[in-house]
Amino acid sequence: MDEDFANISLNLVAEDIRESKTNKIHGNRTSRVQQRKDAKNESEKERSNLSFTPKEDSAGRKRKLESDGGESVATDRSTSKKRKSDVVISSLFRKNPEIPVISSSEVDTVTENVFTGDAFKDLPIHPFLASNLEEKQGFTQLTEVQKRSIPILLQRKDALIKSQTGSGKTLAYAVPIVQSLQARKLKVRRDDGPYALVIVPTRELALQSYDTFQKLLKPFIWIVPGCLMGGEKRKAEKSRLRKGVNILVATPGRLMDHIKMTSVLHLARIQWLVIDEADRLLELGYERDISQIMNALKSQCPDPPQTVLLSATLSEGVERLSSITLNDPEHISVSDGNDIREQKSAHSVPHVTSPPGHVLEEKNDNNFAVPSQLKQFFIITPCKLRLVSLAAMVLWKCKYSKPASKVIVFISTQDSVHFHCKLFSEVLGKSRNIKEALKKLAFGEEEEEDVDVGDSDDDERYGNIRQPKKEEVKFYQLYGDMPQKERQKTFSDFTATTSGVLFCTDVAARGLDLPNVDWIIQFTSPGATVDYIHRVGRTARAGTKGHSLLFLMPSEAGYIQELNKHKISLTQMELSTVLQPLLANISDLPQPDDLNSKHQTPRTHEEAATFLQDRFEECILNDKEMHSLAGKGFQSFIRGYATYSKEAKEIFKVSDLHLGHVAKSFALREAPTNVHNVTAKSGSGQRKNKKDVRPSKRPLSFKQATLSEYSAGFQSNNKKIMAKPGGKRKPKTRKR
């Protein structure tokens, strides 16, 4: 880690030297000639004609751009001298590393069938349950995992279930639970308390599973489902528990809290225990909570509950968990073609102190099935072009294409999610047609209604491009530290919308079933392959079509080979393919704040990209709040980058980052100066789990910065792996 900081410091120094060499040595005649040449070729071409002359800076001074060694420098117009505070504006398309072309290698992908042709009514379940599924919910066929799991679970066997994302694992456990509870001779009564416990890693997933049970229970209204999760009021949850809940869906932290603190919650009747996204729960450090829940069950239940563990990806940790939680389990792995029935657990009752006795000898251990109808792409874009490429992709898919797409963009940190959502809403969400904007300027705001956007004079001036007025793109954000109400609203709004963009952290990567998502964009790479699998799994669900796009920088190109090793096959998308639609829709791009400024229609996709980048930079320059968000986003990006796992660091090296270029990708004209502190802090605590920096008004302490967004609404569950900057690790007890 220290090496990383040293490297990043060197990088920064080298960057300063490079910049000063390029821009500040003017005594030399050759450099002046070069300066003029570059000025003509690059800056004039890319920038000065597009939007920036003249322009007022935030202090109200008239500024103009002068070219300097291929980089543009904003100077004080009145003196025509470069000021100390002048900002170097680097050109988007210069000094970038070469983009490698990676030919698609032959990858023998792992495939799974989704549907079986069998119907729910063929199962030994109540006819009302089958008709509810088929007629009310429209599920005419069983999925493969349902066909394999439901009969086994109906025989009251424990099971470890693995099948690809979106293959219907929720119903695979929910149907047997409902069937067994409705079939009880002594009818279930609400005040009996819980018969089934379902543990999931995130609040959204808890709500989603709860919703599934609500729908399934429509014909059996005497069975009551309930949900316990962080962020909700404990008091309200307690009163619900007092009234009685028979199927309890919960996040582990909050469940443990109630087991300890809520006397009305008793577990004596629990017959089912489901641990969904089991590997994720372990990854997030919930092993202790799960152990405590198991111990509570052991002490309260006369008979061990039937236990089911599920995920699209099962890790070594799950082997360990299965050994302590499952009794003589069935292993159901859809991609293997056959259920794996092999070494059985030595334990007859779940007991947390028992030594692991079972080894999951699974074929294709590290290879994961991806829905066959999912088309996976990657794009290699130089760091400076990341922001504008993402914007171009979003505009292309959500504005210029019909029908407009529904897109999820995964970004590693909360500050970065917040920044991108705000910036895109600000710049792209409010975009105005050139002609509209000019008319507005000529006639004033109130004339807006009368504007004829197809005015031919304007068409001539702006390249004769006529575009129909397009729908604005809707932007949403989701991350762990958002207030629960807001989080829920985003979730339901994005569920309901037919198009729009959701910026989110990995809090939305697992289990979420957001309908009709067309594209998954991974703007920051996940590092671990399992995370890649779960992120792309938010599209192409239950046999529907889907696409994914992974953003990589040239230095990260080796990640494609890594994915190939896990039998994941991707196709390269050209940068020009993404940028071209900007040019084709140039009149639809957002316009400069200063409508009096001179314009020339961009003629190439590079010019179009530069034009759009300028709008972003202008927004950051002119808006203090946005500037601060950009700074925080930048810092959190570096911090996130420094915390890839040891293995991933082979590819994602923080020392490969060019800070000036990273700044550009946050629309900043220079890198924030306190970056050393950021990296030093992130470096001192080797972190296994992904945690984000929440958007905040004040600079965050290290502790705040590493709070888990998955927390159940209490303190971080990850304190044990956090270290104080420069200090020794101090074991801490979790506050609830």
Query: What is the binding site for ligand ATP (CB under 6 A)?
Result: 139, 141-143, 146, 165-171, 312, 511, 513, 537, 541-542
| Coil, helix or strand at residue 86 | coil
Which backbone phi and psi does 475 adopt, to 5 degrees? -115, 140
Q: CB under 8 Å to 161, separation ≥6 — which residues? A: 145, 149, 169, 172, 173, 308, 309, 310, 311, 332, 333
CA distance 51 to 727: 50
Q: Which is nearer to ligand ATP, 99 or 312 (CB)?
A: 312
**Residue 42 exposure: Cα atoms within 13 Å on the Cβ side:** 21
Q: How many other CB atoms are there within 10 angstroms of residue 703's CB atom? A: 15
735, burial (CB in 10 Å: exposed 0-12, middle 13-18, buried 19+)? exposed
Instruction: Compute the least distance from the CB of residue 607 to ligand ATP, in Å.
Output: 41
CB of 223 to ligand ATP, least distance (A): 20
Beta strand ranges found along 312-433 (DSSP E)? 330-333, 374-380, 406-410
Q: Which is nearer to ligand ATP, 139 or 476 (CB)?
A: 139
Contact 321, 286 (CB under 8 A): no
- Residue 407 phi, psi dihedral angles, 5° rounding: -130, 140
Nearest-approach distance from CB 644 to ligand ATP, in angstroms: 24
Tell me if residue 527 falls in helix, strand or coil: coil
* Beta carbon nearer to ligand ATP, 142 or 404: 142
Nearer to ligand ATP, 495 or 704 (CB): 495
DSSP assignment of 434-496 equals HHHHHHHHHH-GGGGGG--TT-HHHHHHTTT---PPPPPPPEEEE-TTS-HHHHHHHHHHHHH
In the complex, the smallest distance separating the C-beta of residue 98 from ligand ATP, rounded to whole angstroms, is 37
Q: Which is nearer to ligand ATP, 183 or 542 (CB)?
A: 542
The CB density around residue 441, as the number of other CB atoms within 10 Å, is 12
For the bound state, the minimum distance from the C-beta of residue 21 to ligand ATP, rounded and expressed in Å, comes to 51
In 141-221, alpha helices (H): 144-154, 169-182, 203-216
Least Cβ distance, residue 142 to ligand ATP (angstroms)? 5
Minimum CB separation from ligand ATP for residue 315, in Å?
14
Q: What gap in Å lies between CA 596 and CA 53, rounded to an integer?
A: 9
Tokens of 673: 């100066």
Q: To the nearest whole angstrom, how small is the minimum distance from the Cβ of residue 548 to ligand ATP? A: 14
Q: In whole angstroms, how close is the CB of 69 to ligand ATP at the nearest point?
A: 51
Q: Identify which of residues 487 and 538 has a Cβ nearer to ligand ATP in the complex.
A: 538
CB closer to ligand ATP, 512 vs 560: 512
Is the Cβ of residue 165 or residue 587 nearer to ligand ATP in the bound state?
Answer: 165
Comparison of 541 and 632: residue with beta carbon closer to ligand ATP: 541
Cβ distance 244 to 268 under 8 Å? no
| Cβ proximity to ligand ATP, 342 vs 365, nearer residue | 365
168, two tokens: 């219907």
Q: Which two tokens stand for residue 486?
A: 């807001």
Least separation in angstroms between CB 596 and ligand ATP:
52
Pick between residue 8 and residue 312 the one whose CB is nearest to ligand ATP.
Answer: 312
Residue among 159 and 427 whose Cβ is closer to ligand ATP: 159
Q: For the CB of residue 476, give the shortest distance to ligand ATP in the complex, in Å.
A: 19
Cα(93)–Cα(540) distance, integer angstroms: 35
Q: Which is nearer to ligand ATP, 38 or 506 (CB)?
A: 506
Which run of H or of E encompasses 551? strand 546-552
Orientation angle between helical segments 287-300 and 316-325, nearest 10 degrees = 10
Cα 414 to Cα 386, 409, 502, 529, 640, distances in angstroms: 18, 12, 13, 21, 10
Interatomic CA distance for residues 733 and 505, integer angstroms: 27
The DSSP code sequence of 266-277 is --TT--EEEEET
* Residue number with CB closer to ligand ATP (41 or 373): 373
**SS3 assignment, position 579:** helix
- Report, in Å, the least distance between residue 407 CB and ligand ATP: 17
Q: How far apart are CA 533 and CA 526, in angstroms?
A: 10
SS3 380: strand
> If 0-12 CB within 10 Å is exposed, 13-18 middle and 19+ buried, where does residue 444 land?
exposed
List helix spans (H) across 623-706.
624-641, 659-665, 675-684, 702-705
- DSSP annotation string for 406-422: EEEEE-S-HHHHHHHHH
Which residue do the tokens 């309260």 mark? 300
Closest distance between ligand ATP and the C-beta of residue 326, in Å? 19
Cβ closer to ligand ATP: 163 or 601? 163
500-504 sheet: strands from edge to edge: 475-478, 500-504, 406-410, 519-522, 546-552, 374-380, 571-573
Closest CB to ligand ATP among 4 and 513?
513
| Nearest distance in Å: CB 557, ligand ATP | 28
**Least Å distance between CB 398 and ligand ATP?**
22
Q: Does residue 403 have a cis bond before it (omega within 30 degrees)?
A: yes
* Shortest distance in whole angstroms from residue 219 CB to ligand ATP: 18
Kindly tell me which of 171 and 560 has the beta carbon lying closer to ligand ATP.
171
Peptide linkage before 54 cis (omega within 30 of 0):
yes
- Judged by beta carbon, residue 197 or residue 427, the one nearer ligand ATP is 197
CB atoms near residue 697 (< 10 Å): 8
| Cα 15 from Cα 7, distance rounded (Å) | 12
Q: How far is the CB of 530 from ligand ATP (least distance, A)?
A: 11
Smallest distance from ligand ATP to CB 309, Å? 13
